[in-house]
């Protein structure tokens, strides 16, 4: 599980930062990639990485501002020419369906794969396979959402020595025990799975928030995340401006991370008023409150390691 930051700027592209797009690679977990937002030129950014558009199976749009959606029609179209055959599902706020369908219609774009469009409602978005995804409305000028991606706990290791003591030798039955609550052996023994598995391996949690003003209501959404991705459009000195424009500062994002007891904070959506030489100052502000903070730059990669049991 890895985050790849394809665009980390706010509002307009700059020489140093493209506009918003983040890929969550789940190649080992389910052989797919999820994309969060798709600003202008996201396709061009993808070309600088190893990401294959045909592997993108879900796209989550946080809100309908242009710096988060203007790259979407082009990416959907190009996926048809890049081997995309599998279902692609786009999740986004009300209006996303009309935006996509109108863009494809007026450009006479015909996709070679099935496309599903789901307009967001707060709560559990889906629970399928190894993941649950929840969403919550944030506080922005237009409806904006944050996502909590939860990997389900994995079964513990099979206690082979204990099975041998019971007279159960290696073979197909070991796989059966892993997959079933109770297995009956050929001689009639009932083998209860929970007695022969080690502690479960806790799943990972990633929270990715769209544009938002600072508010306490986000704590529950992001609590105990392994990684929290949060916008930091402004420095602390611009706190009043951030409030007026429904955005957050470095210190507000760090305060949320601290209150929610997350493990790592990644700041993104940096205003183009800040140049590369300003990064140290922005990072210092956040780290004074929450030390395990980084500022994302385009093409940065953040690996979320598997937790130990």
Confidence bin at 179 (pLDDT 50/70/90): confident
Q: What is the pLDDT of residues 25-37, one digit of tens each?
A: 999 999 999 999 9
Helices 250-259 and 279-287 pack at an angle, to 10 degrees, of 30
| Whether pLDDT at 262 is above 80 | yes
On the question of pLDDT at 309 being above 80, the answer is no
- Structure confidence at residue 44 (pLDDT): 97
> What average pLDDT does the structure give for the chain?
95
Predicted pLDDT of residue 201: 87
pLDDT, average across residues 164-192: 86
Q: Among 5-14, 116-125, 157-166, 298-307, which stretch is predicted with the lowest mean pLDDT?
A: 157-166
Residue 191 confidence (pLDDT) above 90: no
| Distance of alpha carbon 194 from alpha carbon 158, whole angstroms | 10
What pLDDT sits at residue 8? 98
CA–CA separation, 82 vs 60, rounded Å? Answer: 20
Cα separation, 137 vs 147, in Å, equals 9
Q: Which of 37, 67, 211, 298 is catalytic?
A: 67
Residue with tokens 């513990």: 156
**Residue range 46-95, pLDDT digits in tens:** 999 999 999 999 999 999 999 999 999 999 999 999 888 999 999 999 99
277-302 confidence digits (pLDDT tens): 999 999 999 999 999 999 999 999 99
Between CA 93 and CA 60 the distance in angstroms is 9
- 213-225 pLDDT, tens per residue? 988 899 999 999 9
Task: Name the fold adopted by 2-154+201-303.
Answer: Metallo-beta-lactamase; Chain A (3.60.15)
pLDDT exceeds cutoff 90 at 193: no
Phi then psi for residue 3, to 5 deg, are: -95, 135
pTM of the model: 0.91
Beta pairing class for 145-151 and 205-209: antiparallel
Specify whether the CB–CB gap between 50 and 303 falls below 8 A: no
Q: On the CB side of 183, how many CA atoms lie within 13 Å of its CA?
A: 18
CA-based end-to-end distance of the chain: 17
Sign of the torsion angle spanned by Cα atoms 268, 270, 275, 278:
negative
> Is 298 part of the annotated catalytic residue set?
no
Percent of the chain exceeding pLDDT 70 equals 100
Ranges of each domain in the chain:
2-154+201-303, 160-193
Give the other-Cβ count within 10 Å of 3's Cβ.
Answer: 22
Residue 190 CB neighbour total at 10 angstroms: 8
> CA dist 125 to 27, 80, 266, 295, Å?
21, 26, 23, 28
């Amino acid at each position: 599980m890895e985050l790849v930051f394809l665009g980390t700027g706010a509002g307009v592209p700059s020489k140093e930062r493209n506009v918003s797009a983040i890929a969550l690679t789940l190649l080992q977990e389910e052989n797919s990639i999820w994309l969060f937002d798709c600003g202008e030129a996201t396709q061009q950014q993808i070309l600088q990485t190893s990401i294959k558009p045909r592997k993108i199976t879900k796209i989550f749009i946080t809100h309908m501002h242009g710096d988060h959606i203007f790259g979407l029609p082009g990416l959907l179209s190009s996926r048809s020419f890049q081997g995309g055959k599998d279902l692609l599902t786009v999740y986004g706020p009300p209006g996303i369906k009309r935006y996509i369908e109108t863009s494809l219609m007026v450009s006479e774009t015909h996709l070679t794969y099935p496309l599903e469009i789901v307009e967001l409602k707060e709560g559990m978005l889906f629970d399928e396979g190894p993941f649950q995804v929840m969403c919550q409305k944030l506080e922005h000028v237009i409806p904006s959402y944050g996502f909590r991606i939860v990997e389900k706990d994995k079964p513990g290791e099979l206690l082979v020595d204990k099975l041998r003591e019971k007279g159960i030798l290696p073979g197909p039955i070991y796989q059966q025990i892993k997959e079933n609550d109770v297995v009956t052996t050929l001689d009639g023994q009932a083998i209860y799975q929970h007695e022969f598995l080690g502690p479960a391996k806790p799943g990972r949690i990633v929270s990715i928030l769209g544009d938002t003003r600072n508010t306490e209501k986000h704590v529950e959404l992001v609590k105990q995340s392994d990684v929290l991705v949060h916008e930091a459009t402004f420095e602390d000195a611009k706190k009043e401006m951030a409030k007026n424009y429904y955005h957050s500062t470095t210190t507000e994002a760090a305060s949320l991370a601290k209150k929610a007891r997350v493990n790592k904070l990644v700041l993104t959506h940096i205003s183009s008023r800040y140049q590369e030489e300003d990064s140290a100052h922005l990072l210092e502000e956040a780290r004074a409150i929450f030390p395990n903070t980084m500022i994302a730059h385009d093409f940065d990669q953040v690996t979320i390691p598997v937790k130990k049991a």
